[in-house]
């Protein structure tokens, strides 16, 4: 009887077993594949990006299409409303001035400093690299608070020094144009070390033989820079500019802490204006619409810059 | 021996339980509400939070409810961000404190508190019109005005400097006893007199410091001045009224007044005017007694000469900017009845008296009948310095943005349309007509649904 039962069941058992072992082997193979391991290791990051970036981004798009009380779908109503407002156009203009000038000066200062540091003897270089990176590693809110104290409308430390040497006080934050200058200055101070470190890495990767060959051909320093250094760094410059453009366009802390958008709304950027409308005035859909205006601008810049990078990559290949 | 559970015993227990639940008034049944959580504004006066916690715990012990309070700072609008996040998520504290326009902003997610408000009005008499404007939305009380953090922003001036350089004895004009107010003297305190004294103080090297940025101190005093000149930005029926002789008169006046202020007032945040007075450079600001309280700690000589008094009056009366705070109960709170009972408890006269004392008189109840606490008479130096902090005499409270619908008022206030107008005209040198046209367009934008 036992045999009969065994005979009756054994083929099935054998089948199950082989299927299980096949499955196990498949799983084993899957796990041994590099892409699977990579995917599993990236999974926590993917979950975080999906939960904290992708979902809020789509939710923000959804919110921007609701009316003020979030009870009715109004399509592009918030966007067309914004386009008809003078203050909004001023914010667009200011965001562009803020981001473009800050990125330009960060790139310029980063490039010059990277060259200077690269030409230092390797013994002292590490010290300088560390010191120059300090602005970038201090939490931005804290360092901006420090700058705000330096520019304080009534008790500015910088003005105290200027007065001490016989100069006239500068209305750093109370004059709209000086206020624009001040927020850009702080952004440049904070962001230039990022360019420095990227450019320094790029400079170190330029083969020394190219410079030697150029020197034999009689090229001077400027010619070596224009014809060797710059072409070899173009991709890094492009990617760094893109990253910085994205971060600078979306900047909130510096403007919010130093001027909160004033005087006369003349230092507002997209993020601070979105905060003013969305959180302080309680119009979350309109605030979302303001913040989404950054998206097409950044998307176009990203496409253009990355297309250039790909093109150069193909040329090199 | 184990007792068996019969159908009859289950029914009996259920019936007894239901009867107990139905009979319980609010939460007075033991452990009926379990826990109650509050998100409260973090008071800047040391010890003020402790008194609120003590009152809540007293109520909790009496009602067998575990009370948990999170104090949330208003620095960087963290309290508003928290409220916005809780309203969007539909979960969070049971009771949340709301500043300025937040009751209007969250009206759809706030429980009606008509029963609590009506009970308090019955006990204390009429409530400030500003508190009603901000807390009662479309005929329903969505927030209960609390004394905690509520404030008005009258003048806080230097007795010595006004006497020496402007020839005015403010203590004589506004004595620390309302019954001694002399109408003939207080009537002299007009915006015209304020300007002429400000000019004298400017010449003497001690200018008044009136913020003209886009934060609440600036918006509130300009709102009070506009009101006293009869300026209406948008009326109750959505009519834009900013293009008026009253607006022109107020702006022309402000041009003269801003000329005798330090130029940095355009960049001041809400702490700028406090620092100005405390430093000893300034002769007068418009603020709650926080500047005086900090001066007491940091510059006693200044504090000893500070006197809080009424705002100047204009052609349409004497107004002071009021900024009340509220407690709201979220509609998604599972403990609404307990929350309402707690709000009633901490709004009782004796509780409010303790809260006012703990804040050294900074907290201002919205009920006029609660403006008689000893704290305002006794705190010093000098004795009576904040007696006139609660509106006395003919002073009335005002809110920039009113009388427009509160949805519209919130936009006007938070976008600081009044101070931007003044800045454009006084600092930016724009033409009066252009400034008014700009304001009309901005106000038109606030009317969108």
On whether both B293 and B420 belong to a single domain, the answer is: yes
Across the interface, of A69, A153, A175, the residue whose CB is closest to B272 is A153
On whether both B275 and B410 belong to a single domain, the answer is: yes
Q: Which two tokens stand for residue B361?
A: 């008189």
On whether both B167 and B316 belong to a single domain, the answer is: yes
Q: How far apart are CA B449 and CA B444, in angstroms?
A: 11
Three-class SS state of B425? helix
Across the interface, of B272, B410, B420, the residue whose CB is closest to A281 is B410
On whether both B258 and B405 belong to a single domain, the answer is: yes
> Cα distance from B23 to chain A (closest Cα, Å)?
38
Q: Is B242 domain-assigned?
A: yes
Across the interface, of B88, B213, B281, the residue whose CB is closest to A262 is B213
CATH 1.10.3720.10 for the A80-316 domain, yes or no: yes
pLDDT 10s digits, A20-65: 777 777 777 777 777 888 888 999 999 999 999 899 999 999 999 9
On whether both B301 and B432 belong to a single domain, the answer is: yes
Angle between helices A86-118 and B432-446 (to 10 degrees): 100
The predicted model scores a pTM of: 0.85
Q: Which domain holds residue B104?
A: 31-150+324-364
Across the interface, of B102, B212, B276, the residue whose CB is closest to A154 is B276
pLDDT above 50 for A4: no
Question: Which value, to the nearest 10 degrees, does the dihedral of the CA atoms of residues A115, A121, A123, A127 take?
Answer: -30
> Cα distance from B420 to chain A (closest Cα, Å)?
5
On whether both B133 and B241 belong to a single domain, the answer is: no
How deeply is A100 buried, as exposed, middle or buried, from its count of CB atoms within 10 A (0-12, 13-18, 19+)? middle
Whole-number pLDDT of residue B32? 54
Cis peptide before B381 (omega within 30 of 0): yes
Mutation test of the interface with chain A: which of B264, B280, B418, B436, choosing the one with the most A Cβ atoms within 10 A? B264
What are the domain boundaries of chain A? 2-63, 80-316
B29 Rama sector, left if φ>0, alpha if ψ -120 to 50, beta otherwise = beta
Whether A86 and B438 lie within 8 Å, measured CB to CB: yes
Positions of E strands within B241-376: 284-286, 306-309, 313-314, 317-329
On whether both B390 and B281 belong to a single domain, the answer is: yes
- Ranges under pLDDT 50 in chain B: 1-7, 10-11, 14, 16-25, 27, 30-31
Across the interface, of B424, B438, B449, the residue whose CB is closest to A67 is B449
ipTM of the complex: 0.82
Q: In the structure, how many helices (H) and strands (E) does chain B have? A: 21, 13
Q: Which two tokens stand for residue B401?
A: 């943005």
Average pLDDT value for residue range A181-208: 94
On whether both B381 and B426 belong to a single domain, the answer is: yes
Q: Is B26 domain-assigned?
A: no
Q: Is B390 domain-assigned?
A: yes
Whole-number pLDDT of residue A37? 85
Whether B264 and A259 lie within 8 Å, measured CB to CB: no
Whole-number pLDDT of residue A310? 83
pLDDT 10s digits, A136-192: 999 999 999 999 999 998 889 999 999 999 999 999 999 999 999 999 999 999 999
First and final CA of chain B: distance in angstroms? 70
On whether both B293 and B332 belong to a single domain, the answer is: no
Whole-number pLDDT of residue A27? 72
Residues of B in contact with A68 (CB under 8 A): 407, 448-449
Looking only at the bridges linking them, the beta strands covering B136-137 and B140-141 are antiparallel
Task: Note every long-range contact of A77-85, with CB atoms under 8 Å and residues 24 or more positions apart, other chains counting.
Answer: A78/A285, A78/A286, A78/A288, A78/A289, A79/A289, A79/A292, A79/A293, A81/A286, A81/B445, A81/B448, A82/A286, A82/A289, A82/A290, A82/A293, A85/B441, A85/B442, A85/B445
Three-class SS state of B75? helix
Cβ pairs A/B, distance under 8 A:
99
B215 Rama sector, left if φ>0, alpha if ψ -120 to 50, beta otherwise = beta
Residues of B in contact with A179 (CB under 8 A): 267
Average pLDDT score over chain A: 88
pLDDT 10s digits, A62-117: 999 999 888 899 999 999 999 999 999 999 999 999 999 999 999 999 999 999 99
Instruction: Note whether B357 and B138 are within 8 A (CB).
Output: no
Whole-number pLDDT of residue B18? 46
Contacts of B87 (CB under 8 A, 6+ apart): B106, B109, B330
pLDDT 10s digits, A251-291: 999 999 999 998 999 999 999 999 999 988 888 999 999 99
Instruction: Note whether A92 and A293 are within 8 A (CB).
Output: yes
Q: Is B208 domain-assigned?
A: yes
As beta bridge partners, residue B14 has none
Handedness of CA B29, B32, B38, B44 (dihedral sign): positive
> Cα distance from B369 to chain A (closest Cα, Å)?
32
On whether both B229 and B286 belong to a single domain, the answer is: yes
Average pLDDT score over chain B: 92
pLDDT above 80 for A16: no
Whether B264 and A173 lie within 8 Å, measured CB to CB: yes
On whether both B261 and B346 belong to a single domain, the answer is: no
Q: Is B347 domain-assigned?
A: yes
- How many structural domains are present in chain B? 2
Q: Which two tokens stand for residue B176?
A: 């620390």
Residues of A in contact with B272 (CB under 8 A): 153-154
pLDDT 10s digits, B180-198: 999 999 999 999 999 999 9
Q: Is B24 domain-assigned?
A: no
Residues of B in contact with A256 (CB under 8 A): 76
On whether both B294 and B425 belong to a single domain, the answer is: yes
Residues of A in contact with B104 (CB under 8 A): 282
Please give the radius of gyration of chain B, using alpha carbons only, rounded to the nearest integer.
24
Measured between CA atoms, the residue of chain A closest to residue B417 is: A264
Instruction: Note whether B200 and B277 are within 8 A (CB).
Output: no
Q: How far apart are CA B206 and CA B197, in angstroms?
A: 11
pLDDT 10s digits, B382-436: 999 999 999 999 999 999 999 999 989 999 999 999 999 999 999 999 999 999 9
CATH classification at residue B351: 3.40.190.10
pLDDT band for position A316 (cuts 50, 70, 90):
low
> Cα distance from B434 to chain A (closest Cα, Å)?
13
Whether B410 and A86 lie within 8 Å, measured CB to CB: no
Q: Is B4 domain-assigned?
A: no
As beta bridge partners, residue B141 has B136
| DSSP assignment of A238-302 | HHHHHHHHHHHHT--HHHHHHTTT-STTTT--HHHHHHIIIIIS--HHHHHHHHHTHHHHHHHHH
Whole-number pLDDT of residue B82? 96
Q: How far apart are CA B229 and CA B251, in angstroms?
A: 10
Q: Is B6 domain-assigned?
A: no
């Amino acid at each position: 009887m036992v045999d009969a039962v065994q005979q009756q069941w054994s083929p099935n058992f054998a089948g199950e077993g082989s299927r299980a072992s096949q499955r196990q082997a498949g799983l084993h193979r899957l796990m041994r594949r590099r892409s699977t391991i990579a995917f599993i290791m990236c999974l926590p990051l993917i979950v975080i990006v999906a939960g904290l970036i992708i979902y809020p981004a789509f939710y923000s798009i959804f919110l921007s299409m609701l009316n003020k009380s979030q009870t009715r779908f109004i399509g592009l109503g918030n966007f067309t409303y914004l386009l008809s407002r003078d203050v909004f156009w001023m914010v667009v203009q200011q965001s562009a001035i803020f981001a473009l000038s800050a990125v330009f000066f960060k790139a310029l200062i980063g490039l010059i400093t990277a060259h200077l540091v690269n030409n230092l003897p390797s013994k002292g270089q590490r010290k300088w690299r560390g010191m120059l990176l300090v602005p970038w590693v201090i939490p931005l809110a804290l360092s901006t608070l420090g700058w705000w104290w330096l520019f304080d409308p009534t008790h500015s430390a910088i003005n105290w020094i200027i007065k001490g040497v016989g100069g006239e006080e500068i209305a750093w934050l109370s004059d709209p144009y000086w206020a624009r200058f001040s927020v850009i200055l702080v952004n440049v101070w904070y962001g230039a070390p990022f360019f420095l470190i990227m450019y320094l890495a790029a400079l170190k990767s330029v083969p020394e033989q190219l410079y030697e060959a150029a020197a034999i051909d009689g090229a001077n320093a400027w010619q070596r820079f224009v014809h060797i250094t710059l072409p070899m760094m173009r991709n890094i410059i492009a990617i760094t500019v893109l990253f910085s453009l994205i971060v600078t366009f979306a900047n909130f802390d510096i403007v919010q802490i130093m001027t909160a958008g004033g005087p006369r709304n003349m230092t507002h950027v997209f993020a601070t204006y979105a905060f003013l409308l969305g959180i302080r005035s309680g119009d979350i859909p309109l605030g979302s619409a303001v913040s989404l205006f950054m998206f097409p601008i950044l998307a176009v810049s990203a496409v253009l810059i990355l297309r250039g990078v790909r093109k150069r990559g193909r040329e090199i290949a | 021996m184990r007792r068996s559970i019969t159908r009859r015993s289950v029914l009996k227990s259920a019936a007894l339980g239901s009867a107990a639940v139905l009979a319980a008034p609010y939460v007075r049944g033991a452990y009926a509400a379990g826990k109650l959580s509050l998100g409260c504004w973090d008071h800047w006066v040391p010890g003020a939070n402790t008194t609120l916690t003590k009152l809540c715990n007293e109520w909790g012990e009496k009602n067998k409810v575990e009370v948990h309070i999170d104090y949330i700072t208003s620095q960087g609008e963290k309290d508003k961000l928290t409220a916005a996040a809780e309203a969007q998520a539909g979960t969070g504290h049971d009771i949340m404190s709301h500043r300025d326009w937040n009751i209007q902003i969250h009206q759809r997610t706030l429980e009606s508190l008509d029963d609590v408000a009506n009970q308090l009005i019955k006990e204390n008499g009429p409530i400030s019109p500003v508190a009603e404007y901000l807390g009662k939305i479309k005929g329903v009380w969505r927030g209960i005005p609390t004394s905690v953090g509520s404030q008005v922003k009258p003048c806080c001036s230097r007795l010595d400097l006004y006497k020496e350089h402007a020839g005015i004895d403010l203590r004589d004009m506004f004595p620390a006893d309302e019954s001694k107010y002399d109408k003939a003297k207080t009537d002299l305190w007009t915006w015209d007199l304020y300007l002429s004294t400000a000019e004298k103080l400017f010449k003497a090297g001690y200018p008044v410091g009136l913020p003209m940025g886009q934060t609440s101190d600036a918006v509130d005093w300009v709102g009070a001045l506009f009101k006293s000149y009869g300026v209406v930005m948008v009326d109750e029926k959505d009519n834009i009224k900013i293009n008026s002789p009253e607006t022109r008169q107020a702006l022309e006046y402000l041009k003269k007044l801003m000329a005798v202020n330090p130029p940095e007032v355009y960049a001041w945040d809400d702490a700028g005017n406090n620092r100005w007075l405390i430093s000893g450079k300034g002769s007068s600001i418009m603020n709650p007694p926080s500047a005086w309280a900090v001066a007491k700690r940091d510059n006693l000589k200044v504090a000893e000469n500070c006197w809080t008094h009424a705002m100047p009056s204009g052609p349409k009366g004497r107004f002071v900017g009021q900024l009340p705070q509220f407690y709201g109960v979220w509609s998604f709170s599972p403990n609404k009845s307990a929350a309402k009972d707690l709000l009633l408890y901490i709004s009782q006269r004796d509780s409010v008296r303790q809260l006012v004392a703990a804040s050294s008189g900074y907290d201002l109840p919205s009920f006029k009948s609660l403006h008689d606490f000893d704290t305002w008479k006794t705190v010093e130096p000098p004795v009576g310095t904040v007696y006139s902090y609660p509106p006395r005499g003919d002073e009335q409270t005002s809110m920039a943005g009113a009388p427009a619908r509160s949805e519209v008022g919130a936009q006007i206030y938070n976008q600081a349309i009044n101070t931007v107008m003044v800045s454009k005209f006084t600092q930016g040198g724009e033409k009066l007509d252009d400034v008014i046209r700009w304001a009309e367009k901005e106000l038109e934008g606030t009317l969108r649904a």
